[in-house]
Amino acid sequence: MPDKAALISTSIMEHALCAECIAAKSSMSVAATETTLAVIQRTLDVHRAEARRCHSCDRTTVVFRLGRSTL
Ligand SMILES: [Zn+2]
């Protein structure tokens, strides 16, 4: 897994975050973050919620969180 993908995976492992906060934590653009999230989704279970509170910025928006595999 590329370093940026690992960094994003770690940041959404414990808390749900919006794309902007994930981008800020990873030093990436929002567009690059969304692309990397799509890559992560190939191997890990990334949950996307439409109207949840972001743990970092407190905005109610689209947030992402890593789920646990049931396997
Ligand atoms: Zn946020």
Residue 67: predicted pLDDT: 86
Spacing, Cα 67 to ligand 1 middle (Å): 18
First CA to last CA across the chain, in angstroms?
Answer: 20
Spacing, Cα 21 to ligand 1 middle (Å): 4
Spacing, Cα 26 to ligand 1 middle (Å): 13
What's the CATH code of the domain at 62? 1.10.10
Asked if residue 71 is part of any domain, the answer here is no
Query: H or E element: which one contains 21?
Result: helix 19-26
Q: Give the residue-averaged pLDDT of 40-69.
A: 93
Spacing, Cα 36 to ligand 1 middle (Å): 17
| Domain extent at residue 12 | 3-66
Residue 69: predicted pLDDT: 55
What contacts 68, CB < 8 A, 6 or more positions away? 45
Q: Give the residue-averaged pLDDT of 12-38.
A: 95
Q: Six-digit token pair at 60?
A: 């109610």
Q: Give the residue-averaged pLDDT of 13-38.
A: 95
Asked if residue 52 is part of any domain, the answer here is yes
Task: Work out how many domains the chain is built from and give that number.
Answer: 1
Asked if residue 10 is part of any domain, the answer here is yes
pTM of the model: 0.87
Residue 70: predicted pLDDT: 55
- The answer to whether 15 and 55 have CB atoms below 8 angstroms apart is yes
Spacing, Cα 23 to ligand 1 middle (Å): 9
